[in-house]
């Protein structure tokens, strides 16, 4: 069964802390994505990666960075967490070739910044 896992389901951090959110997929997918989900705003794309060491900005990259050193792992980094970054963060992966566009999602990390 395909699987996308995220390192934490719930996380509480202080303003100004550096925060790492980890995502791992076991499907050998080339593409990986980070979204944040807020009530009434749906899913907004933060960053995505088409391959190892590649990254592309999404719609709301400000205040975030990413790292993809291995194909199966895609990390989202909050350099200096702020209360406005309190949200649900969803990671997804997708096959880069031969796939029909479907993205597979992890369970999400609910981050609270105090």
Partner 1 sequence: AQSVTQLGSHVSVSEGALVLLRCNYSSSVPPYLFWYVQYPNQGLQLLLKYTTGATLVKGINGFEAEFKKSETSFHLTKPSAHMSDAAEYFCAVSDQQGNTPLVFGKGTRLSVIA
Residues of the shown chain interacting with partner 1 in the complex, contacts defined by CB under 8 A: 4, 9, 31, 33, 35, 40-43, 45, 48, 58, 90, 92, 94, 96, 99-108, 110
Q: What is the DSSP letter of 84?
A: G
What's the closest the beta carbon of residue 41 comes to partner 1, in angstroms?
A: 6
What's the closest the beta carbon of residue 80 comes to partner 1, in angstroms?
A: 26
What's the closest the beta carbon of residue 16 comes to partner 1, in angstroms?
A: 28
SS3 68: strand
Nearer to partner 1, 43 or 77 (CB): 43
CB-neighbour burial class of residue 87 (10 A; exposed 0-12, middle 13-18, buried 19+): buried
**Tokens encoding 102:** 């479907």
Nearer to partner 1, 14 or 97 (CB): 97
What's the closest the beta carbon of residue 6 comes to partner 1, in angstroms?
A: 8
Beta-bridge partner residues of 19: 78
Nearer to partner 1, 85 or 106 (CB): 106
How many angstroms separate the CA atoms of 51 and 81, rounded? 27
Nearer to partner 1, 10 or 14 (CB): 10
Q: What is the DSSP letter of 53?
A: T
User: How many CA atoms are closer than 13 Å to the CA of 44, on its beta-carbon side?
Assistant: 14
């Amino acid at each position: 069964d395909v699987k996308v896992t995220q390192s934490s389901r719930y996380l509480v951090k202080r303003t100004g802390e550096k925060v790492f959110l980890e995502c791992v997929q076991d499907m050998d997918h080339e593409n990986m994505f980070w979204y944040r989900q807020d009530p009434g705003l749906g899913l907004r794309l933060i960053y995505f990666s088409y391959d190892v060491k590649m990254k592309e900005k999404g719609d709301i990259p400000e205040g975030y960075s990413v790292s993809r050193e291995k194909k199966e792992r895609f990390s989202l980094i909050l350099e200096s967490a702020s209360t406005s970054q309190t949200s649900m963060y969803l990671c997804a992966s997708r096959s880069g070739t031969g796939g029909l566009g479907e993205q597979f999602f992890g369970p999400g990390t609910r981050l609270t910044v105090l």
